[in-house]
Amino acid sequence: MNKQKGSLRKLLYFSRPYRKRILIAVSLAGVLTLIGLVPPLLIKRLIDDIVGASKWDMLTGVILMLIAIPIIRAGVSFLNNYIIAYIGQRLVFDVRLKMYRQLQRLSIRFYETMKTGKIVSRMMSDVAMVQNMITGNTITMVTDIISFCFATVIIFSLSWKLSTVLLGILPICLTTSSL
């Protein structure tokens, strides 16, 4: 457990210069989540209000929004992916530079006992694993949490009775899906 805390502390140390960009990436992930939740609501409006209540004057606006949403989503997604890739590459550069500088300070005796392949492996694969953890896993986890929160608010606003049933079934679904 102490080793994990130390690794997390080092990871936070290296990601500190990129806090603003990380916050922007997380915010864009939240925006993408919200954008993803809009089409079902528009389809609901299309069926309930336009077709069901014959409010045909709303049809043009709903259709334009249904066309615009994928375009907006693509733009926000591109920007988010760019920022995440930038953070990942800069983070890897910082870690490798620090490792390189540390290797320069080590004695000749260290290099006599340590195999070159092991040093190169640390420089390449371990750092790449850190990059994947920061850019892939963390952002995905945050996006999933944001999606869950927004979706929960929306379903409760639509029908609190159905939402309660859904949240009651959710633990069973999560348990069976993780098996």
pLDDT tens digits, one per residue of 25-75: 888 988 988 898 889 889 988 888 888 888 888 889 989 999 999 999 999
- For the residues 124-138, what does the mean pLDDT come to? 72
- Whether 165 is covered by a domain: the verdict is no
Q: What domain range includes position 102?
A: 2-147
Residue 125 · residue 94 · CB < 8 Å: no
- Whether 131 is covered by a domain: the verdict is yes
Its pTM stands at 0.73
- Whether 81 is covered by a domain: the verdict is yes
- For the residues 119-129, what does the mean pLDDT come to? 77
- Token pair 């949240």 is found at 167
- Whether 163 is covered by a domain: the verdict is no
**pLDDT in the model for residue 3:** 63
84: Cβ contacts below 8 Å, ≥ 6 apart: 25, 135, 139
- Whether 136 is covered by a domain: the verdict is yes
Total tally of structural domains belonging to the chain: 1
- Whether 115 is covered by a domain: the verdict is yes
- Whether 22 is covered by a domain: the verdict is yes
On the question of pLDDT at 1 being above 60, the answer is: no
> How would you class 4 by CB atoms within 10 Å of its CB: exposed for 0-12, middle for 13-18, buried for 19 or more?
exposed
- Whether 176 is covered by a domain: the verdict is no
